[in-house]
Amino acid sequence: MRQFVVIGRDVPTDPDAVSLSDIPGAGRLDLCCRCVSAGVFLSHGIRESVRIHLVIADEFTVTFDSDTLRHLHPDERNVAARVRDALDAKDDAIGHMPADVSQGVELRRMGLDATLDRLVGADGRGPDGTLVQLHEEGDPLVDAEPPDHPVFVLSDHHDFTSEEAAAVADRSERRLRVGPELLHADHAITVVHNWLDTDGYTAY
């Protein structure tokens, strides 16, 4: 399983504030949608065992699960419509029980801390994986060993805030950079997939 946590701190939590004719205007939701597409889609196909978690306004987390997703298309409008559906269902998310939005899409009433706890625990080592922060000043990816069940955390168009950086650092000291240039988050996801697909650039 590969998982990506994307922080979308400016995305509105009110579904009525998400206009499909102005997706960037919804707190750069376009970036988050491209992260979902880069995470789950191949050309003419869908990846196995990938989950993308969009943390919205540190209040809700919308999860896309590639193994159970149905009828999702890679274009931003289609993904944004699913995020809006998820926000529309937020009243059904009670405590830490998710709201089922559609097959393969769930919304949880959880911000970054609770989502990281759910995915990797307070110590960053389980239940589901090893936490890795993707950061432009991290250690080079090429020198690292691909973890078995990585959970990568990325920011959107902003820097990580000090609270977000601390939430990640408390659970993991591991920071990796995918290359020398600052990339869009979705492009960084594509590079990471390629690193894992090639077992650390060793198997083509």
Beta bridge partners of 61: 55, 108
- Residue 144 Cβ, how far from ligand SAM at the closest point, in Å? 12
- CB burial of 45-54 (b: ≥16 within 10 Å; e: otherwise) equals eeeeebbbbb
- CB nearer to ligand SAM: give 65 or 164: 164
* Token pair for 203: 């198997």
Asked if residue 134 belongs to a known ligand binding site, the reply is yes
- Residue 181 Cβ, how far from ligand SAM at the closest point, in Å? 6
- CB nearer to ligand SAM: give 20 or 182: 182
User: Nearest-CB residue to ligand SAM?
Assistant: 155
Residues found near ligand SAM in the complex (CB under 6 A): 134-136, 154-155, 157-159, 177-179, 181-185, 188
- Residue 139 Cβ, how far from ligand SAM at the closest point, in Å? 10
Annotated binding site for S-adenosyl-L-methionine: 134
